[in-house]
Amino acid sequence: MRTWRVGTISMGAALAGLGVVLLVSQFLHLDLTTIFLSWWPLVFIILGAEILFFVFFSRKESSFVKYDILSILFVGLLGMLGIVCILLTSSGLMDQVRAAVKSEEKTVHLPGFNEKAGKGIQRVVLDSGSYPLTVESGTEESVSIFGTYDELGMETSGPLLKRVEDYLLVQRNGDTLYISFKDLPIQNRLLDTGSMDLEATLVIPAELALEIEGQSADLVLKPRQLLNDWNVKGSGNLSVFLQDNSDIKIEARGADELEGPKDGWKVNEGKPEQISENDPAKKNGIFKYGKGNHSLTVTDTIHVTVHNP
């Protein structure tokens, strides 16, 4: 009696076919996923043809059909992998996997913003959003913004932010220029949260007044030699860098911590505020450098640090 082992030929053909696919994809630099999605149904066709072939001939001969379980399981595993790839492709997850594998993290320059303040502008009102920001006073008459942001993208793809309007809202109303940083778009990526980091610098003319709504973001201020007053409210960690010719009085109201040069801060000249019995009293303080003809008022800020030149 002759014994037919169904599944052995199918496994051999599957291994040979898989080896050919891998070899061709390496030499021709083809997309292996696309080739596999097109090739794997042949595995089931070979297995089915093998079963029909041996069943047909077993009727004519005194033979016994035996199924090679290991080989059939291997062929079935390849088929299941193919079905999984089909499901991932139809749901869009396969495209995300391809993008994640081929993407690279890169630092891209922000589209630059530059607008001449002119004689009609007296102050700038800034909403810094949720990103860290550096603010400097300058000698030019223009308000300008520049910086970088990090994103994941294909090597050949263009930047995500192509225009100033993609990250910035600017509106002029009377004598005030309103500037707001928008929340950057969250990229739909598989391997991370898709959040983007942004670092920007804002330069405004020294003669303009400035009001900043911090949104608990970290701020770095470089007021240099102010010719007007600045106000900051609700920032996280605030660092103020002074220079030799700075002439400024920094007044902090409701800060958690005040740091700077020794004997620089005169703390709690105002009445301290206490939210509850378990919370420490908020600190009020004044730091003067030079004559202090112009002031920087800081309100409801977590940490204020002054750096002397």
Same domain, 64 and 176: no
Average pLDDT estimate for 93-122: 76
Same domain, 87 and 110: no
- Alpha-carbon distance of 200 to 150, in angstroms, equals 12
pLDDT value for 275: 43
Same domain, 224 and 294: yes
Reply yes or no on whether the pLDDT at 274 is more than 50: no
- Alpha-carbon distance of 14 to 10, in angstroms, equals 6
pLDDT value for 25: 63
Domain extent at residue 83? 2-91
Same domain, 81 and 108: no
In tens, the pLDDT along 209-235 reads: 999 998 888 999 999 888 899 999 988
Which of 61, 91, 121 is the last residue before a domain boundary?
91
Residue 98 lies in a domain: no
Non-local (6+) Cβ contacts of 291 within 8 A are 247
Residue 298 lies in a domain: yes
Q: pTM score > 0.85 for this model?
A: no
C-alpha torsion 16→21→22→23, nearest 10: 90
Residue 97 lies in a domain: no
Structural domains in the chain (count): 2
- Alpha-carbon distance of 302 to 62, in angstroms, equals 90
Residue 99 lies in a domain: no
Same domain, 282 and 174: yes
Same domain, 84 and 140: no
Q: Specify burial of residue 210 (Cβ count, 10 A radius: 0-12, 13-18, 19+).
A: buried
- Alpha-carbon distance of 146 to 177, in angstroms, equals 17
Same domain, 85 and 111: no
Residue 34 lies in a domain: yes
In tens, the pLDDT along 27-77 reads: 666 665 566 556 666 666 776 777 677 766 666 555 555 666 776 677 667
Same domain, 153 and 31: no
Same domain, 182 and 55: no
Same domain, 18 and 124: no
**Across the chain, how many H-helices and E-strands are there?**
5, 20
In tens, the pLDDT along 236-253 reads: 899 999 988 888 999 999
Same domain, 238 and 120: yes
Residue 29 lies in a domain: yes
Same domain, 130 and 257: yes
